[in-house]
Amino acid sequence: KQEVTQIPAALSVPEGENLVLNCSFTDSAIYNLQWFRQDPGKGLTSLLLIQSSQREQTSGRLNASLDKSSGRSTLYIAASQPGDSATYLCAVSIYNQGGKLIFGQGTELSVKP
Amino acid sequence: DAGVTQSPTHLIKTRGQQVTLRCSPKSGHDTVSWYQQALGQGPQFIFQYYEEEERQRGNFPDRFSGHQFPNYSSELNVNALLLGDSALYLCASTSGGLYEQFFGPGTRLTVL
């Protein structure tokens, strides 16, 4: 059974700091991995999708890496800003399951001015 | 291009009642999934619809049912509501290939 874990559960950093969020999964037979952002009480915004054959994806100040063999992904945020404060969720999809996502519990990020 | 839309935004019901939530997928998407997110938790997969059929189902009781219409929009129905059904219900849409999921704003259901 696939399980996804995110550490830490919460993180507080000063503005301008570079930071790394971690995601681990127990079954390496994934189809892809997505990182999402969620503001309080809102829906999920897709940040990055990494296909199983890829090692990393970049969008602006965000960089996500994937190591299937070790069951790990990281989301790197450069030069953090107060507007980056949100909960960050990672989710994996499994082969032959039509894109069904299995989520971690999220990392709540607070960037202090 | 309209993204995924959901209605209503908020809903308050009492135990034992029934509720219907609605979702319109992103333009060009044919697959709709529903997720339940309890406070402080990650979303949990309820089920997925493709070509008007339930294709996958998570570990949810039969009180949770759904439907997909020919225009790919979808409904989630929950019967005999329990206090524990209080949550944010999220709809996601995708199409084949990468299966990148796009989520709607959610419906906040409160059961009293």
Span B22-30, average pLDDT: 94
- Find the range with the poorest average confidence among A3-7, A96-100, B16-20: A96-100
State yes or no: pLDDT of B13 exceeds 80: yes
Residue B98 pLDDT:
67
Confidence category of residue B2, pLDDT binned at 50, 70, 90: confident
Nearest by CB: B108 against A36, A41, A100: A41
Nearest by CB: B103 against A43, A98, A105: A43
Q: Could you write out the DSSP letters of every residue in chain B? A: ----EEE-SEEEE-TT--EEEEEEPPTT--EEEEEEE-TTS--EEEEEEETTEEEEE-S--TTEEEEE-TTS-EEEEE-S--GGG-EEEEEEEE-TTT---EE---EEEEE-
Residues of B in contact with A106 (CB under 8 A): 42
Nearest CA in chain B to A31: B98
Span A14-39, average pLDDT: 95
Higher-confidence residue of B9 and B97: namely B9
Residue A99 pLDDT:
74
State yes or no: pLDDT of A22 exceeds 70: yes
Interchain contact, B44 vs A103, CB within 8 Å: yes
Min Cα separation B94/chain A (Å): 8
Interchain contact, B45 vs A100, CB within 8 Å: yes
- Distance, CA of B66 to CA of A93 (rounded, Å): 21
State yes or no: pLDDT of B109 exceeds 70: yes
| DSSP category for residue A84 | G
Name the nearest CA neighbour of A2 among A111, A100, A113, A112: A100
Residues of B in contact with A104 (CB under 8 A): 42
State yes or no: pLDDT of B1 exceeds 70: no
Residue A1 pLDDT:
87
Predicted confidence (pLDDT) per residue in A54-86, tens digit? 999 999 999 999 999 999 999 999 999 999 999
Residue A33 pLDDT:
95
Min Cα separation B22/chain A (Å): 15
Q: How wide is the angle at C-alpha A38 spanned by C-alphas A20 and B52, nearest 5°?
A: 125
Predicted confidence (pLDDT) per residue in B48-100, tens digit? 999 999 988 999 999 999 999 999 999 999 999 999 999 999 999 998 766 78
Nearest by CB: A101 against B45, B50, B98: B45
